[in-house]
Structure 1
Amino acid sequence: MRQIPSALLVTTALAVALVVPAFETTGSRSDGGDRHGDSRTATSPPSDARRGAALRGRGDAPHEDGDGHGHEDGDGRGPKDGDGDGIRRAPGAVARHRPASSSSPPPGTRGAVPALPAGPCALPGSVTGASEAAATPPGFVRPTGRVRALTVLIDFPDVRAGISPRERYSEFFPAATRFFRGSSYGRLDYRSTPVLKWIRMSRPLASYRVGRGTSFNPASKSGYYALAKEIVHAVDRPVDFRAYDLVNVLVTPQAGPPATENVWSVTFSGGPLGLKTGDGTHLKNVSFIWSRQTGPSAYRVLNHENAHSFGLPDLYFTDGRADPHPVGHWDPMDVDWGPENDFLGWHKWKLGWLAPDQVDCVHRSGSVTTHRLTAAAVPGGTKIAVVPVSKHRAYVVEARRAGPLDPTACRPGVLVYRVATDVPSGKGPVRVSDATPKSAGCFHKDPNVHAGLTDATYRPGQTFRADGVSVRVLEDRPTVGSTGSTGSTADTFRVRITTPRQH
């Protein structure tokens, strides 16, 4: 990972190859600041993975094909109202993007009203842009209530889409929306409004010189600025960009290398990109999704990328080390391929998905406290206990067991990890403590899973110790009616936390 002057945060989906093309990777934006780039090399996946305002009423269509017709599917309509992914349109009508008001609470919200992290355990940060700090800087998207995404699709004259716009769109929606709804306990109501036409870029793919690490440089005639400029031109008249919080660009999957060789998906977030739309909006928080990820939940590359717009950093290492996964399948900001994986409790707190009474702050020195933690898969209850050990470091304790978003949690128990708010994205800001460091893991059903950490949780009778902190798992409590206390049905775990005395 490199630091390049710019006010722009750039983050990418998980890389799965050692090859980084020698394309343009530098450049500064017109408005200055810091750019957070990701140029990680990593090991490949396992062997089998290698096989709003309304439209303003004008009839301008996106870039048309040579025969005078824009690419679209049969009826030209977006998703139906009510699925949280778009709007109903009359047959043959120009899309009318009407994102719903953000004033209504999201459906399914339970418990106390969530709030952004506060108090002695809400650690400050010391790095620019996305980080594990409790506070997220201005310019990112606040991921609570209704978040409105504009989703467009592009192809190239030499790499034309071989599928309909609706087919490509359906690879991500409504699944990505359901994932955010489930992980946030209904507190994020994510709405995507699609422009169901293939927007044809004006030049062949290679002429844009896009590769892993390519910049968004307004001074360049290639790269992501050039792509975004054409996209905005194609939809600027019918689309009011003021109605949307972020933009998704779904590239035809035939363009670029397969995701098993090199991942190009990238997000530019946290500040204006140096490009204005016709309505005076500064383009920002834009995700480009290339190729296809591997595994049964491949749509989550979009959740990963959008989470960068929410202020979350990459958890995997970007320096090419042999084992780049310090968190593994416990959070999609490390591994976003293969089966589902839920967000860490610290991230849910940072994003405002937990109510204040769902977080236990253990900040008094020399204390011995007992906590009952409810598994992430179960709504309600205390979700995390946070033990700060310095201004920028804390240990977080949470319960995990198998559930709809955690099918790989084959060893139900207590997950303990260190959070460092002064460590940049891609440098290991979160590290999971492995309760069984010599084990090969317990989930081997899917080779896309980083198996070694799947049994990282601590079971009753085990104790975590570091920096004078100890976490002793006392007991688990299974769901009523389960046949035993060691199966994946355990909903809560009781832990005793001891903090060091200050000298």
Structure 2
Amino acid sequence: MQPQPRRRRISPRRLAALASVAALTLAVCTSAGNGHLSPGTSTAGAGPSALSRTSAHGPCMITGDGEVQMSEGIPTTPGYTRSTGTVRALTLMIDFSDAPGDGDALDRYREFFPQTREWFTTSSYGRLDYRPELPVPDWLRMPKSFRAYGIERGAPFDPGYRELVHDIVAEADPDVDFQSYDLLNILVTPNAGPAALDTVLSVTFAGNKEAPSADGVAVANASFVYSRQDDGSGSYDRTGYRVLPHENGHVFGLPDLYTAEGGGAVGHWDIMSEDWGANNDLLAWHKWKLGWLDASQVGCATGKGTREYPLTPLARAGGPKLVFIPLNAHSGYAVELRTRAGNDEAVCRPGVLIYRVDADVDTGMGPITVYDSTRDSGGCTRAPNVHAELSDATFTPGQSFVDRRKGIRVKVLPTHRVEVTRTSQG
């Protein structure tokens, strides 16, 4: 088997920030409740989007244990907002007496839109019509100071957080019908709390049964964004919005892919791993999970023997996008073709990406592992906050990935094809 990637050391401040986010997500995603804020409208999300599949895909639909927090299993379990069709995102900006909003609240809104909507349109090939809605275009002043709420790490609906959500609902309720929206974005004034480089407070509550309610529905799918996620490279105006697509990824049922050491398992190949620095897309596995790929675009390699599969670049609509090789009912290898196009701004070595998906691994604990075809090379990018070692992980024509114990070999052929060999039935 190809050795696992070497884990890169990162700065103590960055490590602390990432560890905070991991802890938050694990705490938030422990239960599933109503998957939307809108119970009756025609465009409302009623839960995860229907997975495109055939009977031949059955062996590739891996599942996790019921106790796994935000599993990579397919299909996504109930409790999350739908990820196809029209999704209405209620967006509110809040500030506090000890952290008043700096300037026009619409400036805060413009840090994330229309970029977030465009990102989802590009990544989903137009299948997700993400509509941010702004019924209150001004700062909503909370009745207590930020310090008084006692929010330090975004713990889910502890007394301070529950009180904050209650106050947000009370302040917005005269102008907002919470039943009309599928998810909630709270853009907090960035001077509330520490800088993101020191402690990451941004957090998402995804399908949480313990969520406070508003207008008779649970505020169960909500993303909170705090300080500006500025990596110090001077690129914030172009890349700073990406924390919101990451947080909304949780609302759609996607787990965190980073570990305590940052993007050491997946690197910059998925926004659920690294949402700092240059733009990046989602893995093909996630696109299938979200309903953005048709069954005809996903190959399920279960048969004994050798078979060729064509692939087309993930950033381009249409054509085959994913080959999955199941190992058992809970895990398997995924194969896809990545190029520098679309949302994949940081790709510096186009080629075939191979990774393992484990549906029995919790969010933030490494449910996906990318295999590096050029171990210890140092990578091919020097872009800030891009995991350099894995940036050249892709396999190119003539290279092979081999798992001898499982009797699996993936050989990359010219003209965007891969040859999958199994010595036993999957």
TM-score, structure 1 as length reference: 0.73
2:96 matched residue in structure 1: 156
Please say if residues 29 and 207 of structure 2, whose CA atoms lie closer than 8 Å, have aligned partners that are also in contact.
no
Distance 1:19 1:440, change over 3 A: closer
**3-state SS in 2 of match to 1:177:** helix
Displacement of 1:21 = 11
**Alpha-carbon deviation of 1:163?**
2.0
The one-character-per-residue Cα deviations of 1:220-247 (angstroms, maximum 9, x if unpaired) are: 2x2x211100000011132111111110
1:188 aligns with 2:186: no
* 1:398 match: secondary structure: strand
Q: Post-superposition shift, 1:447?
A: 1.8
2:207 corresponds to = 270
Answering whether residue 228 of structure 2 is matched by residue 292 of structure 1, we say yes
| Alignment-mate amino acid for residue 212 of structure 2 | L
Q: Which runs of 5+ in 1 are unaligned?
A: 1-14, 37-52, 55-98, 104-112, 477-492
**Partner residue in 1 for 2:289:** 350
Cα displacement (A) at 1:119: 2.1
Letter in 2 for 1:140: Y
2:333 match: 395
User: How far does residue 499 in structure 1 lie from its aligned partner after superposition?
Assistant: 1.4
Structure 2 gaps of 5+ residues are: 1-12, 45-49
| Contact persistence 1:315–1:325 (CA under 8 A) | no
CA contact (8 A) 1:241 1:281 kept: yes
CA distance in 2: counterparts of 1:329 and 1:498, whole angstroms? 28
Equivalent residue, structure 2, for 1:254: 191
Deviations 1:318-352 (CA, angstroms, capped at 9, x unpaired): 3xx4x652101100000001111010000000000
1:247 and 1:273 map into 2 onto residues whose CA distance is 16
Larger RCO, structures 1/2 (Cα 8 Å, 6+ apart): 2
Return closer, same or farther for 1:325/1:116 CA change in 2, 3 Å cut-off.
farther
1:311, 1:430 → 2: CA distance? 15
Amino acid at match of 1:496: E
Please state how far the C-alpha of 1:101 moved relative to its aligned partner. 5.2
Quote how far apart the aligned CAs of 1:399 are: 0.3
- Asked if structure 1 preserves the Cα contact closer than 8 Å seen for 2:18 and 2:200, the reply is no
Structure 1 runs of 4+ off > 6 angstroms? 19-22
Superposition deviation, residue 404 in structure 1? 2.6
Classify 1:344/1:230 alpha carbon distance in 2 versus 1 (closer, same or farther; 3 Å).
same
Alignment counterpart, residue 202 of structure 1, candidates 122, 143, 147:
143
User: Residues of 1 paired with 2:61 and 2:156: CA distance?
Assistant: 33
CA distance in 1 between counterparts of 2:292 and 2:211 reads 31
**Residue 10 of structure 2 is aligned to residue 16 of structure 1:** no
**Counterpart residue number, 1:496:** 419
Instruction: Letter of the 1:413 partner, please give it.
Output: G
For the residues of structure 2 that align with 1:20 and 1:410, how far apart are their CA atoms? Answer: 25
Instruction: Indicate whether 1:374 and 2:312 are aligned.
Output: yes
Contact residue 51 and residue 290 of structure 2 kept, 8 A = no
CA shift in 2, pair 1:408/1:20, >3 Å = closer
User: Structure 2: how far apart are the matches of 1:385 and 1:17?
Assistant: 33
The change in CA–CA distance for 1:101 and 1:416 in structure 2 (over 3 A counts) is same
Please state whether the residue corresponding to 1:418 is helix, strand or coil: strand
Equivalent AA in structure 2 for residue 325 of structure 1: G
Is residue 2:252 matched to residue 1:310? yes
1:336 aligned to 2:275?
Answer: yes
1:174 matched to 2:170: no
- Change in CA separation of 1:33 and 1:401 when aligned onto 2, cut-off 3 Å: closer
The corresponding residue for 2:79 is 139
Could you tell me how far 1:370 is from its partner in structure 2? 0.1
User: Contact between 1:329 and 1:454, CA under 8 Å: does it hold in 2?
Assistant: yes
Structure with the larger helix share: 2
CA change 1:303–1:116 in 2 (3 A) is farther
Letter in 2 for 1:119: G
In the other structure, the counterpart of 2:167 is 230
Q: Distance in 2 between matches of 1:402 and 1:19?
A: 29
Provide the C-alpha distance between the structure 1 equivalents of 2:18 and 2:391, rounded to a whole number of angstroms.
29
Deviation at 1:116, TM superposition (A): 6.3
2:43 paired residue number: 102
Name the SS of the counterpart of 1:18 in structure 2. Answer: helix
8 A contact 2:68–2:360 mirrored in 1:
no
**In the alignment, residue 207 of structure 1 is paired with which amino acid?**
A
Task: Show the 5 A alignment for 1:26-105.
Answer: 34=30, 102=43
Aligned length: 390
Distance 2:327 2:15 in 1: 36
Rounded Cα–Cα distance in structure 2 between residues aligned with 1:18 and 1:256: 15
Q: C-alpha displacement at 1:473, in angstroms?
A: 0.5
What displacement does 1:205 show?
Answer: 1.3
Match of 1:454, SS state, is: helix
Between structure 1 and structure 2, the one with the greater Rg is 1
* Structure 1 residues 213 and 254, CA gap change in structure 2 (3 angstroms): closer
Report the Cα offset of residue 274 of structure 1. 3.7
Q: Distance in 2 between the 1:116 and 1:148 partners?
A: 26
Contact 2:51 2:75 in 1 (8 A): no
- 2:79 and 2:17 map into 1 onto residues whose CA distance is 32
RMSD between superposed Cα atoms in Å:
2.8
The 8 Å contact of residues 116 and 351 in structure 1, kept in 2 or not, is answered as: no
- 1:399-438 to structure 2, matched below 5 A, reads 399-438=337-376
By how many angstroms is 1:363 displaced?
1.2
Name the SS for the 1:360 alignment partner: strand
Instruction: Map Cα deviations across residues 342-384 of structure 1 (whole Å, 9 max, x no partner).
Output: 10000000000001100000012x2211011001111111000
Map Cα deviations across residues 82-130 of structure 1 (whole Å, 9 max, x no partner): xxxxxxxxxxxxxxxxx99529xxxxxxxxx972685221111214442
Q: What is the distance in 2 between the residues matched to 1:349 and 1:324?
A: 22
Q: What amino acid does structure 2 have at the position aligned with 1:283?
A: V
Matching residue's letter, 1:281: V
SS in 2 for 1:150: strand
Amino acid at match of 2:374: T
TM-superposed deviation, 1:456: 0.3
Q: Displacement, 1:189?
A: 0.4
8 A Cα contact 1:275 1:282, kept in partner = yes
Whichever residue aligns with residue 397 of structure 2, its letter is P
Deviations 1:43-82 (A, max 9, x none): xxxxxxxxxx99xxxxxxxxxxxxxxxxxxxxxxxxxxxx
Q: Give the match for residue 282 of structure 1.
A: 218
d(CA) in 1 for partners of 2:365, 2:200 = 19
Work out whether residues 399 and 412 of structure 2, in 8 Å CA contact, stay in contact via their aligned partners in 1. Answer: yes
SS in 2 for 1:465: strand
